[in-house]
Amino acid sequence: MRTTMLGSVALIATITIALIGFQSTVTPTPAHAEIRDANFAIAVFPVDDEYARFKNTWGERRARGRRHTGTDIISPRGTAIRAAADGIITEMDYRASSGFYLRIDHGHGWQSTYLHLNNDTIGTDDGEGGTWTAFYPTLTVGAEVFAGDVIGYVGDSGNAEDTIPHAHLAITHKGESLNPYPYLEDAWDREHRFARSGLNPL
């Protein structure tokens, strides 16, 4: 009987040591980066217009066989565009397709890009504007911005010239394009829920 009990104790000790050793080899290292990535959210809805309109057009066909890789937020020309989250401005430029655009690096592989910024003088659709009508005046590449800071203005520059003014928002994570719509929907619902309650969402 005693021999059996000692054998059982030894067996339990052996299993315990084995499990502890196994656990030490499979327990992941602290994954704060992965957790932050998974929890990325738009802190502030990027267009300062309570009547802005947007819908899920991810993957829709565009001219020349392109697919839509963003979400268009429709709002009047000149409406302020805000940084969706804290970050560093990495690009402010003009291209024939995207028009005036601005890119923010949010860290941990996340970036947001805002396209078709305003290229018209105030109150017109003359195409005579420039960087001073597209971007907030004091911004420069390398500047730090915080969620809610005004970074530019809604327009129709680039290949959006014949469309209704809107801001095209693109989100990428580690170079992969993601559908911005769920992020925008979450931010919109959150802001309007707080607005109805009279609380500040920030």
Q: What is the DSSP string of 29-44?
A: PP-HHHHHHHT---SS
Q: What is the mean pLDDT of residues 111-123?
A: 96
Q: What is the mean pLDDT of residues 193-202?
A: 58
Q: What is the mean pLDDT of residues 46-64?
A: 86
**Percent of the chain whose pLDDT exceeds 90:** 64
- Is pLDDT at 73 greater than 70 in this prediction? yes
Q: Which residue has the higher pLDDT, 146 or 35?
A: 146
201 class by beta-carbon count within 10 Å (0-12 exposed, 13-18 middle, 19+ buried): middle
Q: What is the mean pLDDT of residues 70-87?
A: 96
Q: What is the mean pLDDT of residues 130-146?
A: 97
How confident is the model at residue 58, as a pLDDT?
Answer: 81
Question: For 20-24, 123-127, 182-186, which range has the lowest pLDDT when averaged over its residues?
Answer: 20-24
d(CA 178, CA 190): 20
d(CA 59, CA 179): 9
How confident is the model at residue 9, as a pLDDT?
Answer: 41
- Cβ(89)–Cβ(79) below 8 Å: no
